[in-house]
Structures are given as C-alpha cells and as structure tokens.
A and B are shown apart, each in its own frame.
Chain A
C-alpha cells in the first residue's frame, strides 16, 4: 500500500476562495483523522471518522470548515471562504480499529491563503 495520500501538497489561494483538500486513507483502515498544524497551536485534531461516519467534529474551528467521507477510500476537507488565518499544514491520518493502534499520516497539505 502506498500509505495515506494527500493532495495537493501545496495550495496557495486568495482570501475568500474555496479550498478543498483531499485524502485517500490506507485500504482497510476504519478510522480517518484530519489535523491542522500551526506554530501557535501545534497539531490540532479537527474531525475524525469511523467507518465513514463523523464521530467528533468539535475541533472544527468554524462553520467555514466542513469535512466529508463519501466512501472508505476518500475524504475531503473544505474551507469556504478561506481566510489568511487558515494558513497551516493540514494532515490526514488513518488507522485500523482498536484503541492504541498507530495512526499513519499523509505528508500533509501546506495551505497558504493570501
């Protein structure tokens, strides 16, 4: 398996534009996590899914953020409209069922909103 695949790797967009980040988890994994990394706040959990169902979205900062998982092999994180303070690295991770099992991370999407 190629691991968790995120696209794009880099995204530069203008304030007010819609941004869509994509993630393909490892096949067979039941859990999918979206994180945001910033200097100030470190790695923040935004939302996670179990079997394609959102379980906890309490980390989503505002209504401008939304995430979907239409099937077991694809998830999106959308920001509409984007703002400069959304600039960060966004990571997607997936893991198998079972507490204590490791999560595998993608290489991240570096988002810059100008």
Chain B
C-alpha cells in the first residue's frame, strides 16, 4: 500500500536549468509534506517542507508547490547546481493534535545535474 509515490526514479538536467521533482499521494489526511535529500553513504537530510494549508513554500533556490485537489506536490530547484545531485525523497506526515505520526518516504528520485 503505497501512500506516496515518486514515479520518476531518475532525472537528469543541465547545470543552471530548472529541476522539477514530483510526488503524488493518496491519503488526504496528510498535514505536512517534507522533502529530504540523500547523498551516497549518508543519511537523508531535511531540505524543505510545506503545510497542507499552503500551496507554496520557498527557500532560496528551492520551492515546493502543493496541489491538494490533485494530491500532488513538486519540488523545483532553480538554478540547478552539480552539488544538487542526490536522491530526493518526499515524506508526508499526519498531525495528531500537535504530535506527529509516522514519517513515511517515497522511493525517491535520483537527480543528476550535469556541468
């Protein structure tokens, strides 16, 4: 039962261009959506998040867009840099009265940014 899907296992873009990573979910109860980045041989690190009451959150080169009606979100990286090459995970979460529920992850999208 996959509640969160990242349908593109990999993505390759040219340095300086936009990278768009997509995530679809099925559970309308999700209240938060977090994005994590993972380099080889390291644990995932938090990148950016968005609350379900918003449709956009921006942090520097990273912007996440949320379309609740379509149960879809996307992470935009502009401009892409070679150091952005990593696996990106979408991780939704439910808010249980201020306490967090479990944090599940999509299967990830491997981004390669070519110089």
Q: Which of B34, B100, B104 has the most CB of A within 10 A?
A: B100
Instruction: Identify which of B19-27, B39-47, B60-68, B70-78 touches chain A.
Output: B39-47
Q: How far is the CB of B21 from chain A (nearest CB, A)?
A: 15
Q: Which residue of A lies closest to B101 (CB)?
A: A99
Q: Are B108 and A43 in contact (CB under 8 A)?
A: yes
The answer to whether residues A102 and B49 also contact, given A42-B106, A42-B107, A95-B100 and a CB cut-off of 8 A, is: yes
The answer to whether residues A102 and B46 also contact, given A42-B106, A42-B107, A97-B99 and a CB cut-off of 8 A, is: yes
B11 on the interface (CB 8 Å rule)?
Answer: no
Of residues 74 to 115 in B, which have CB atoms within 8 Å of A's CB atoms? 89, 93-96, 98-108
Chain B residues, Cβ within 8 Å of A4: 43
Q: Are A99 and B105 in contact (CB under 8 A)?
A: no
Q: Are B44 and A100 in contact (CB under 8 A)?
A: no
A96 to B42, CA, bound (A): 21
Q: Are B99 and A45 in contact (CB under 8 A)?
A: no
A56 on the interface (CB 8 Å rule)?
Answer: yes
Q: Are B102 and A99 in contact (CB under 8 A)?
A: no
Number of A residues contacting the other chain (C-beta, 8 Å)?
27
9 A-B pairs closest in CB distance: A105-B43, A99-B95, A102-B46, A100-B32, A42-B107, A99-B100, A43-B105, A105-B44, A56-B102
What would be 22 A-B contacts, judged by CB atoms less than 8 Å apart? Answer: A33-B103, A42-B105, A42-B106, A43-B105, A43-B108, A45-B102, A45-B103, A55-B102, A93-B43, A95-B103, A97-B98, A97-B99, A97-B100, A98-B98, A99-B32, A99-B94, A99-B98, A100-B32, A100-B95, A102-B49, A107-B43, A108-B41
Residues of A within 8 A of B (CB): 4, 31, 33, 35, 41-43, 45, 48, 50, 55-56, 91, 93, 95, 97-108
Residues of B within 8 A of A (CB): 31-32, 34, 41-46, 49, 51, 89, 93-96, 98-108
